[in-house]
Amino acid sequence: MGAPVLIASDVCKRFGPVQALRNVDFRLEPGEVHALLGINGAGKSTFIKILSGALQKDSGTIRIGGEDVHFRAPEDAIRAGIATVQQHPELVPDMSGLDNIFLGRETASRSLMGRIDREALEARADALLARFAVPIDLSQEVGQMSAVEREAVAILQAIAVDGIRVLILDEPTSTLTDVEREDLFALMNQLRAQGIAIIYITHQLEEVFAIADSFSVFRGGACVARMSVDEARSSGVSLADLMLGEAVGDIFPKKADPDARGDVFLEVRDLSLTHGFENVSFTAHRGEILGLFGLVGSGCDELAKSIFGVDPPDQGEILIHGRPVSLRKPREALDAGIFLVPGDRRTEGLALSRHSLFNVPMANLRRAAGGRWGLKSRQLRSDIQRLTDQVALHPPHLNTPASGFSGGNQQKIVLAKGLYSEADIYIFVEPTVGVDIGARAKIYGLMRDLSERAAVIVVSSDCDEVHGVADRTIALHKGRHVEPESGVFSRDDLLMAGIMGKGSL
């Protein structure tokens, strides 16, 4: 492949008492698709933020094309040839794909009064599509595009800058169907053929063998393994074993005593939803955390939303405290005592432009009003301050818009909102995506505390998270409930159930 395009040596990063990265060594060859693997909190996101200029390393060196580089901002990384597509690309939905690609770079002039030459923009777009044959209509508004088309626009936006040699893709398939994923892989193969190196972050282990040339595994802030995919395939290496390694540590609270399990708060009987899931049954008890594991396309997200009334089931029955209920909208689910922490907090969990004093009481306005018209401002502020302290919101500013907080702290605002709802049943969907390891421990502890008075369900595509926090686990594979042959899922069995639909190895 020639000389490496990127070499990182002894990179370290600390956040207070937490050593996020420990002497990380990493290299990337031109035209290489390199998968970056690790459980949440392993250090992947910190390393990527350093490469993309969002964070600065404490020590170590980074070389691009043989030259030492020092990034103080994302613009520095882009000038050096590194572009990043985040898990949730910041695109403008009511603008066309073409306008999104060149947003902020419409002209060579830095003046706000610079004239925009539409023909020149279209010519630049045509040149991009000539290099990367993407079947996409760039005149269409992004908000009307499919998920894979939006991902393609974000990638084209990233590589539209001259001199991009490294492209970082952060979980690009997290919202894609199997067919859309293959379309994305086709685009990635074109990028690879053009010599662009790709760092590919994914939790979907089967994708590593489908698209990557090699992979690195991060664990506990260190890069513990680097291997070619061919080598791993021929030697039968288990990616799950490499990722999980030794015990994750004490970020997971102690599990509940099975004998202490209380009453059934939620029962689902033969629930089905067209194009979602089929004949799913389970019970959730007070005093336990029930884990529901499944990869993208498993039906887990659809099941959670169906129980919450977002997309009511086609058949089956939901019982709360032994009584059948018909939940046709989220407000009815809230009134019935169910609170959903959604997987996409930005679009489904928060009003980003509004502060905590607005967001937190939205799930229980009756409590906020105290049974009267109008809100009890003084009591409300006191309650919300107590809850944001409980979830360790940082900084603890109640009047700051949610958009002004990091992803992890946005999740804490959603959690405070859930606590304020005083629900009997809590459903957490992908609760720690984009959350640092310290915040993860806090969230898991809150779940355990909630389980003492409520039924708690954790829905996640992270096998280690489900196995680590849940007292009982079930799995979905392509919409079907998978049962363990032994009656109890081991960690590896659970992973295989999600990937292969099998109850055991």
- Report the pLDDT value the prediction gives residue 497, as an integer from 0 to 100: 65
pLDDT of 468 strictly over 80: yes
- Separation of alpha carbons 338 and 284, rounded Å: 12
DSSP secondary structure string, 242-294?
Answer: HHH-S---TTSPPPPPGGG---EEEEEEEEEETTTEEEEEEEEETT-EEEEE-
Instruction: Please give the structure tokens belonging to residue 395.
Output: 């900084």
The larger pLDDT score, comparing residue 243 to residue 428, is at 428
Residue 111 is classified by DSSP as S
pLDDT band at residue 110 under the 50/70/90 scheme: low
What is the SS3 assignment for 27? strand
Q: Is beta strand 197-201 parallel, antiparallel or unpaired with respect to 315-320?
A: unpaired
Side-chain-side CA neighbours of 15 within 13 Å: the count stands at 13
Average predicted confidence (pLDDT) for the chain: 86
Q: State the pLDDT confidence band at 504, using cuts at 50, 70 and 90.
A: very low
Structure confidence at residue 172 (pLDDT): 87
pLDDT-above-70 percentage for the chain: 89
Least confident of 122-136, 286-300, 483-497: 483-497
Task: Please write the tens of the pLDDT for every residue from 233-273.
Answer: 999 888 877 876 644 456 788 888 888 889 999 999 999 99
Q: Which residue has the higher pLDDT, 405 or 337?
A: 337
| Beta partners for residue 480, in sequence order | 278, 477
Confidence class of residue 491 from pLDDT cuts 50, 70 and 90? low
The ranges assigned to domains in the chain are: 6-244, 249-337+424-432+458-505
H/E stretch holding 325? strand 323-325
Question: Does 469 have pLDDT greater than 60?
Answer: yes
Interatomic CA distance for residues 420 and 448, integer angstroms: 17
- In the prediction, which pLDDT does 505 show? 29
- Long-range contacts: 413-416, Cβ < 8 Å, 24+? 413/350, 413/356, 413/359, 413/360, 413/388, 414/341, 414/342, 414/345, 414/349, 414/350, 414/359, 415/341, 415/391, 415/443, 415/446, 416/356, 416/360, 416/384, 416/387, 416/388, 416/390, 416/391
Predicted local confidence at residue 365, as pLDDT: 81
The alpha carbon torsion through 411, 413, 418, 420 (nearest 10 deg) reads 170
Which is more confidently placed, 12 or 128? 12
Contacting residues for 125 by C-beta, under 8 A, at least 6 apart = 98, 101, 102, 138
Candidates 90, 295, 85, 301; CA nearest to 201 is: 85
Which CATH superfamily, name and number, covers 249-337+424-432+458-505? P-loop containing nucleotide triphosphate hydrolases (3.40.50.300)
Mean pLDDT of all residues in 453-462: 92
Least confident range of 37-51, 343-357, 412-426, 478-492: 478-492
C-alpha angle 188-39-503 in degrees, rounded to nearest 5: 90
Residue 46 CA to residue 187 CA, distance in Å, equals 26
Confidence of residue 180 (pLDDT cuts 50, 70, 90): confident
The pLDDT tens digits for 82-108 are 999 987 788 999 999 999 999 877 765
Question: Mean pLDDT across the stretch 488-500?
Answer: 64
Cβ atoms of 128 and 101 within 8 Å: the answer is yes
Contact between residue 151 and residue 89 where contact means Cβ atoms under 8 Å apart = yes
Of 400, 364, 401, whose CA–CA distance to 379 is shortest? 364
Averaging pLDDT over each range in 41-55, 116-130, 313-327, 360-374, which range is the top one? 313-327
Q: Where does the pLDDT of residue 205 fall: very low under 50, low under 70, confident under 90, or very high at 90 and above?
A: confident
What gap in Å lies between CA 343 and CA 434, rounded to an integer?
A: 11
Among the four given CATH numbers 3.40.190.10, 3.40.50.300, 1.10.760.10, 3.30.460.80, the one describing domain 6-244? 3.40.50.300
More confident residue, 396 or 17: 396
pLDDT on residue 47 = 94
Q: Are 475 and 299 in contact, with CB atoms under 8 Å apart?
A: no
pLDDT at 217: 93
* pLDDT (tens digit per residue) in 328-340: 999 999 999 999 9
Same fold, 6-244 and 249-337+424-432+458-505: yes
| Contact in structure between 157 and 149 (CB atoms under 8 Å) | no
High-pLDDT (> 90) share of the chain, %: 51
Question: Which of 29, 35, 65 shows the shortest CA–CA distance to 48?
Answer: 35
